[in-house]
Every structure is written in C-alpha cells, then in structure tokens.
Structure 1
Amino acid sequence: MPDLPAPTRLNRPSGIRSLRLGDTKVSYAPDGAVRLRPLHLLPDTTDATWAAHPEYLDGAGLLAGSVGALLVEHGGRALLIDTGIGPHAFESPDGPLHSAHGGALPDSLAALGRRPEDIEAVAFTHLHPDHLGWACEPLLGHAEFLISEPEWADRDALDPRAAQALAKNVRTIAHDEEVFPGVRVRIAPGHTAGHAEYVITGGGRRLIAFGDAMHSPLQASHPSWSSGFDHDLPATAGHRHRLAAELAEPDTIGFGVHFADVVFGRIGATADGTPPSWRPVDA
C-alpha cells in the first residue's frame, strides 16, 4: 500500500512527476498553481473540518493546488491532456478561486524532452480557462484539439476569442473512443455538461485522468462533497462515489491535476477505521 503523503506535499503545488504504464510514460507537466478558499471550494465542509486538516492549507489558510497538463508518450508519439492556464494570472475577490497563475508549461515540456511541435493532439477534460489556456496561444496552434461532443456543443459560455482559437482545430470525440494508443475517453458530466475523463492502460495498470471530478484529495475520503465549481452537484457526487470505488481497485491509479504535490495516487484503506484516503503513487 502506498504511504500517506507527507503533510508538506498537501499544501504546495507539484513539480514534474512521471510514471510508467508498460510502454507508455505519463508525466505531470506543471504550468502554474492555484490557491482556493476551502469553505467555498467544498461548501459541505466547516471551519471544524479544516481545523482537523491543517496540512492542506497554506500560511494564509488557503488550499494550494496544481495547474498543468498530463503528457502521454507512446512509441515516439505525444499527447497532452489539458494545457493549463497559459501565460496568464487570475484573482477573484470572493468564491472558490482566490488566485491562479500559469506560464510554465513550455519549460516543463522542455524538461521532459519535448518541444511543443511534438504534441500531435490535446485531449481536453473540459473547457474551463485553467485547462484550455495554452490552446488559445500559438504554442499549440498546430495540434488537433479533442473535445467531447457535449462539451463542445455547450461552448456558448466560452470567451468568443477562446472559442475562435479552438474552433479551427477541434475534432469532437465520443464516449469510449480511443483517442491515442491505449487512451480512451469516457464522458462523465457533472462538473461541466460534457466533462471527460481519460483512461490510459499499459503494463497491466490503468490510470484515470479524472479532470475536475475531484479538486482536493479530501474528496477521496468524502466523495459526497461536491465543489463550488460543479455544474450539477448531485451528478458529480454520484460519479465521484463510482470513481472512488474504481481508484481503490488493484492496479488502478488516479491523476488529479489540482491535487497539490500528490497528483498521482490511489484510494487506500486506513488502519484506524477512518474513511479510505488518497495515497500518492510515485513509481
């Protein structure tokens, strides 16, 4: 069973981390970081919840999270899942988001031995700004953009400039379609109308890149806790219960793009009878 994360890993954004799934390599490629207001992010929590879990909070009492992309490499080919924020920064005076910034993805790809032109396609989990940022920049203008059919159909809320930047390269994808060797999409609405996850298999293991189905490792222990960003709270909670059960199965790993410095992990039982919790997987 993987070890429990060191407390410091839960309140800092992740650096580059990689795993092998047989002949496929998956790597978290950081773009930046996000800081979130815990009571707004998870409205079912209370001050007492966070007093019991101070390891998740930074010195200002905010949740620290990661923002970036998942690089999938197989047979010399390269796919990105999401693209981070891009060269931008955001702040909000209220609500779940306190602040976020990006810009590091090109350097992260270089550190992983990849040029932007090596990326043949970007598969999006959904079209929120912290996932599509670099797709609106020249950096990835050559790549095909893979977006679930219902997510693209619901694009009216997008900034018109973002919609225009995406439109020229979009190919819509359907549930259970293979989008890259060993990578299948499954559509799990709730966070957004067409939110997608990607299941990557290889070497007898599978990895579920679950996008924003969960924002914090605490939701692995409390799957009924929906996020303040979720479009349909009951649908997301129901899906999260099913996802948590999957992530407790043997040889199954999750990828939580916002999960501080524990982006890869699985859900494991505890010895003291408390709810199963997120356990980092680093190899």
Structure 2
Amino acid sequence: MSTPPATDPTAVPSWTVGDVTVHRIDEVLLPPATGPWLLPGATPGLVTAQDWLHPHFADDRGVLHIDSHSFAFTLGGLRVLVDTGIGNGKERANPAWHDLDTGFLEDLTAAGYSPDSVDLVILTHLHADHVGWNTRDVNGEWVPTFPNARYLTSRTEREFWAGYDMDEARAQMFRDSVIPVERAGLLDLVDVPAEGVEAAPGLRLLPTPGHTPGHVAVELTSRGRTALITGDCIHHPVQLAHPAIGACVDIDPQQAETSRRTLLGSLADTDTLVLGTHFAPPTAGRVVTHQDAYRLSPAPADSR
C-alpha cells in the first residue's frame, strides 16, 4: 500500500542546528517483530525498566518502536542526504523490506530536495536498509536516483564487502542498489582515520566500526551548534541505557560495543543534538548521564 505523499512542507519534521535545518524523510515504521530479531538482548523486562523509553521509543509491554528514515539538509550551499533507506520495489529476503511502495521521494521533494537537486549522498554503511533509494527502477533498469550527486562511503566499507562471501540476498542488494551507482561513476570512497575526516566544511565522517567494518557516523556543525547522525552505531535509545546490547547483524559485536561506548561518552551532557537513523519519533535528543549509563532527553521536531 502506498503512503500518501507529504504535500505540505510543514508536515516534514525538522530540527534547527545553527543555520541548518535538518529534515527527517520518513519511509516506513518497521513491524514489532523487528526489535526481538535485531536487538535480542533488549528483553521486555529490561526495556520496561527504563521508564523514559515509554511511550515514544517502546510500548508498555517493552516492544521497541523502530523506524526507517533518512535525513536531508543544506550546509554551505551543499544539499545533502544521509542514508537512503530501503527503497521501492526491491527484492529483499526480509518481508518488512520486500517490494515496498512508499511516498519517500515525494516526501523528500516536499521538503525541498527533489532528486535532481541533491548534491551529496552519504552512506553510513552498505546495508540494504541504508542504500535502497540509491537507485530506482526506470523501464526495468536500476538507475541512480540522484544523478547529480556524489555518493560517499568509507573505503574500508566498500573494500570489505568486495571481499566478502555474500549470500544471494546481499548480492542482490549490491546488484540493484550499489553497483549501478558505481557503474555510473558516482560512488566516491573516502579514507576515514581515527580522528574522522571532513567531507565538506562543517560536515565530518566519524569512524564507528563494528556494526560493519567501515561504518561512519555523520557530524554537522553550524554557528557553533552540532548534530550527529548515528547510522547503525546505535539502533535504538535502549542502547544508551545498556550499551552492551548489540545487533544480531553486527559484524564485530565487541568492536560495535566499543564504538558505541566511545561515541556516547563523547556526547554525554553536551549540547550535541543526536539524530537516530532508526529512532522512532521524536527521533532526536541529547545524551544525558543516567544511573550508571545514559538516557536520551528528547528534542521534538520544530513546528515550521
């Protein structure tokens, strides 16, 4: 079933970071079964013990709320999209991702980012629910959705998957959502050192490996204000309270936990706005110390 497109720009949630407006481009709310599969350590009792997770991030039974969305913003004249979701019409093993028909591109356009206008697409990592809208079906062929953009990802990330013995489902994802972008000459690979790297003025890629070897978080700064887009270093706010909880698909669970703890420690009790790539609304907030770990203090979207 199609999701009605957003025709009113005020319907697109956004946050202000200095002079930058960050828009959340919604794709789909993932089904309740996603939580137990993705984060098996987040048991209902553990989740319900964190009162602050209810009602936004989990229900009163401890069922996690998990979204798929992207973020779009303009920084220094550069029109940026971070991650591209699941995509429409893609053949996927996960039934929640298979053959979607959503209004993602209409919502992106309603936010002021028509596909032809996007300058830069940053891919935090190369998983199916982060690269799907890299391409779209035109007359039976997968072609780049953002033909005037550079697509950016970590060199470590692409080289890892190039040498990985993929199952058919993952190979299909690369065939329809990554390789067409490469063939078009639009994919740029970036070396990301331990201290991070500047992708553009005010825009940095921070290494957060573990979920995948080349995973990056995205930091943007404007007029002294900072925001950080998590990617899958943090899937859900419950991981603030329990950083040891990992995802079932983490390539290196121990490294993923180390990256998560390092990142959370750097964010705690600062003014940095954290934007969770899979966080259900209100999606954004600030990390504050809580008990022996952290919690998220929500920052609701602006009413524009």
User: Could you say which TM-score interval applies, normalised by the shorter chain?
Assistant: 0.7 to 0.9
1-structure distance, mates of 2:73, 2:101: 20
> Cα–Cα, structure 1 residues 33 and 46, in superposed 2: closer, same or farther, change >3 Å?
closer
Deviations 1:20-75 (A, max 9, x none): 22222211111222224433322333342245467444699753321121112124
Q: Match for 1:277 among 285, 295, 304?
A: 295
Verify the 8 A CA contact 2:35 2:65 in the aligned structure 1: no
Verify the 8 A CA contact 1:71 1:79 in the aligned structure 2: yes
For residue 106 of structure 2, give the secondary structure of its aligned residue in structure 1.
helix
Q: Which amino acid aligns with 2:237?
A: P
2-structure distance, mates of 1:243, 1:161: 32
2-structure distance, mates of 1:102, 1:241: 36
1-structure distance, mates of 2:277, 2:295: 17
The answer on 1:256 being equivalent to 2:279 is no
> Cα–Cα, structure 1 residues 109 and 37, in superposed 2: closer, same or farther, change >3 Å?
closer
Q: Structure 1: state its 5+ residue gaps.
A: 1-14
Please name the residue that 1:82 is paired with.
Answer: 83
Matching of residues 54-133 of structure 1 within 5 Å: 55=55, 56-57=57-58, 62-88=63-89, 99-100=96-97, 101=100, 103-133=102-132
2-structure distance, mates of 1:142, 1:62: 41
Matching of residues 222-237 of structure 1 within 5 Å: 222-237=242-257
For residue 276 of structure 1, give the secondary structure of its aligned residue in structure 2.
strand
Verify the 8 A CA contact 1:82 1:131 in the aligned structure 2: yes
Please name the residue that 1:162 is paired with.
Answer: 177
The answer on 1:27 being equivalent to 2:23 is yes
Q: Which amino acid aligns with 1:25?
A: T
Report the alpha carbon displacement of residue 122 of structure 1 after superposing the two structures with TM: 0.4
Please name the residue that 1:41 is paired with.
Answer: 38
Please name the residue that 2:150 is paired with.
Answer: 144
Q: Which amino acid aligns with 1:229?
A: V
For residue 278 of structure 1, give the secondary structure of its aligned residue in structure 2.
strand
2-structure distance, mates of 1:87, 1:98: 13
2-structure distance, mates of 1:155, 1:265: 32
Please name the residue that 1:174 is paired with.
Answer: 191
2-structure distance, mates of 1:134, 1:237: 28
Q: Match for 2:159 among 153, 158, 162?
A: 153
Task: Count residues in correspondence.
Answer: 263
Deviations 1:228-262 (A, max 9, x none): 12111100111111111122142212111101113
> Cα–Cα, structure 1 residues 80 and 252, in superposed 2: closer, same or farther, change >3 Å?
same
> Cα–Cα, structure 1 residues 60 and 107, in superposed 2: closer, same or farther, change >3 Å?
farther
> Cα–Cα, structure 1 residues 46 and 64, in superposed 2: closer, same or farther, change >3 Å?
closer
2-structure distance, mates of 1:43, 1:161: 30
> Cα–Cα, structure 1 residues 203 and 227, in superposed 2: closer, same or farther, change >3 Å?
same
Deviations 1:145-204 (A, max 9, x none): 101001111233443333321213111112233223310112221011111111111122
For residue 126 of structure 1, give the secondary structure of its aligned residue in structure 2.
coil
Identity, in percent, stands at: 27
> Cα–Cα, structure 1 residues 172 and 61, in superposed 2: closer, same or farther, change >3 Å?
same
Q: Structure 2: state its 5+ residue gaps.
A: 1-10, 137-142
